[in-house]
């Protein structure tokens, strides 16, 4: 069963075969069984929700970083208790999935105990999708806000050089229904992961999202990776990116001000990414929170729609639908990733 990727292009993600294969690979590279399983779950989730730039396309990068000793496969992660609400995690350069998993679980414990949790992480790495961790908190009926920084991709307003990462802003809340509200938006016009996938597949990117290294507009994904990504909304997006750099880097003890290394290109040291997790009980102030948010969503969905729009969707709804659909069908795995999987398990 483990050789499903050796030549076969499709796989059902619901089956344990792929997960077992990824776990086997991570364990080969030195991760413990539990850390390998946490990481495999996060990668498969990214594939299921259609966030391919955060899925299997990154597996080889993680393994390469372990080989080059810039991800620590056997981290001694320390959780420092500052109060019943506040914790500080030193991730000891673990793979990002593991430190984020520990941190969101601590943030959930803190919020359930005291109403609010604040957990900062330093010495971590790329952890995939913020929304994946937000979902965990939302399942416990918590509202959550998550910030992480990333390697330079976006130029500060007024600057000619990239410095901010695509620095996502993530917000999650229960909705009183089984589909959570998960806003997980980068402050760049397009996710860097999407540009990477386009570059690997020789696809072009939309106009207006990036400049080449000379500062000219480009739709060439490879040129965009060497150039500058544009922030949303000019100085407003630049300000939001700066905020995320402060919250996840300056505050936590993580790298900031453009010092987070590109995980694909720069093996000169660990990334030392920082993350910040804020969680609080949804019904702190209004006991009928779930009823209120149901009403909120229902009212907005009832608005007259632009021609061609079937339904006004809230953030997270599309992703949830993709997840559900993908669970029940065979997924195509592209040739490059098949080769990665073949190579990594040898």
How far is the C-alpha of 247 from the C-alpha of 243, rounded, in Å? 6
* # residues near a second copy by CB under 8 A: 70
**Quick check: 245 binds a second copy (CB under 8 A)?**
yes
CA geometry: angle at 247 spanning 145 and 41, to 5°? Answer: 50
Partners of residue 182 on adjacent β-strands: 172
How far is the C-alpha of 243 from the C-alpha of 150, rounded, in Å? 13
Are 99 and 42 contacting, i.e. CB atoms less than 8 angstroms apart? no
Among residues 142, 282, 331, 344, which is the contact residue for a second copy, using CB under 8 A?
Answer: 282
Among residues 10, 68, 305, 324, which is the contact residue for a second copy, using CB under 8 A?
Answer: 305
Among residues 30, 50, 217, 315, which is the contact residue for a second copy, using CB under 8 A?
Answer: 315
Site string for a second copy, 49-78 (x = CB under 8 A): ------------------------------
Partners of residue 81 on adjacent β-strands: 87
CB of 40 or CB of 121, closer to a second copy: 121
**Quick check: 118 binds a second copy (CB under 8 A)?**
yes
Site string for a second copy, 125-164 (x = CB under 8 A): ------------------x-----------xxxxxxx-x-
Nearest approach in angstroms of CB 288 to a second copy is 10
**Quick check: 232 binds a second copy (CB under 8 A)?**
yes
The pairing of beta strand 86-90 with beta strand 116-124: parallel
Per CB under 8 A, the segment of 92-100, 295-303, 327-335, 336-344 that binds a second copy is 295-303
**Quick check: 183 binds a second copy (CB under 8 A)?**
yes
**Quick check: 102 binds a second copy (CB under 8 A)?**
no
In 180-217, which positions are buried (b, 16+ CB within 10 angstroms) versus exposed (e)? bbbbbbbbbbbbbbbbbbbbbeeeebeeebbbbeeeee
Nearest approach in angstroms of CB 77 to a second copy is 15
Token output for 279: 């969680």
Are 277 and 99 contacting, i.e. CB atoms less than 8 angstroms apart? no
**Quick check: 260 binds a second copy (CB under 8 A)?**
no
Per CB under 8 A, the segment of 2-10, 182-190, 261-269, 322-330 that binds a second copy is 182-190
Residues 6+ apart with CB under 8 A from 334: 9, 201
The two most distant CA atoms of the chain are separated, in Å, by 56
The continuous run of DSSP H or E covering 146 comes out as: strand 142-148
How far is the C-alpha of 182 from the C-alpha of 262, rounded, in Å? 26
Q: What residues line the site for a second copy (CB under 8 A)?
A: 82-83, 85-86, 88, 114-116, 118, 120, 122, 143, 155-161, 163, 169, 171, 173, 181, 183, 185, 189, 232-233, 235-237, 239-240, 242-243, 245-247, 249-253, 256-258, 278, 280, 282, 284-286, 289, 292-293, 295-296, 299-300, 303-306, 309, 311-315
């Amino acid at each position: 069963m483990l050789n499903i990727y050796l030549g076969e292009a499709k796989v059902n993600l619901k089956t344990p075969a792929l997960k077992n294969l990824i776990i086997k690979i991570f364990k080969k590279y030195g991760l413990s069984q539990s850390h390998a399983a946490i990481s495999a779950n996060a990668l498969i989730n990214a594939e299921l929700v259609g966030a391919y730039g955060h899925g299997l396309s990154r597996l080889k990068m993680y393994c390469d970083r372990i080989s080059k000793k810039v991800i620590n496969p056997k981290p001694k992660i320390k959780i420092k208790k500052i109060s019943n609400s506040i914790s500080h995690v030193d991730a000891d350069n673990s793979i990002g999935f593991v430190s984020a998993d520990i941190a969101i679980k601590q943030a959930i414990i803190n919020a359930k105990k005291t109403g609010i949790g604040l957990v900062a992480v330093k010495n971590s790495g790329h952890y995939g999708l913020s929304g994946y961790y937000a979902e965990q908190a939302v399942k416990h009926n918590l509202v959550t806000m998550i910030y992480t920084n990333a390697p330079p991709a976006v130029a500060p307003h007024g600057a000619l050089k990239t410095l901010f990462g695509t620095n996502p802003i993530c917000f999650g809340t229960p909705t009183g229904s089984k589909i959570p509200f998960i806003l997980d938006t980068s402050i760049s016009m397009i996710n860097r992961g999407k540009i990477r996938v386009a570059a690997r597949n020789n696809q072009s990117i939309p106009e207006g999202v990036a400049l080449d290294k000379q500062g000219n507009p480009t739709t060439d994904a490879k040129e965009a990776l060497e150039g500058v990504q544009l922030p949303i909304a000019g100085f407003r997006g630049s300000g939001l990116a700066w905020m995320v750099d402060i919250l996840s880097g300056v505050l936590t003890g993580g790298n900031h001000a453009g010092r987070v290394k590109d995980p694909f290109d720069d093996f000169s040291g660990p990334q030392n990414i920082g993350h910040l997790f804020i969680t609080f009980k949804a019904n702190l102030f209004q006991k009928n929170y779930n009823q209120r948010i149901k009403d909120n969503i229902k009212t907005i969905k009832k608005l007259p729609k632009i021609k061609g729009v079937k339904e006004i969707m809230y953030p997270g709804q599309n992703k949830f639908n993709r997840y559900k659909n993908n669970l029940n069908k065979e997924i195509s795995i592209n040739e490059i990733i098949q080769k990665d999987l073949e190579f990594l398990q040898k």
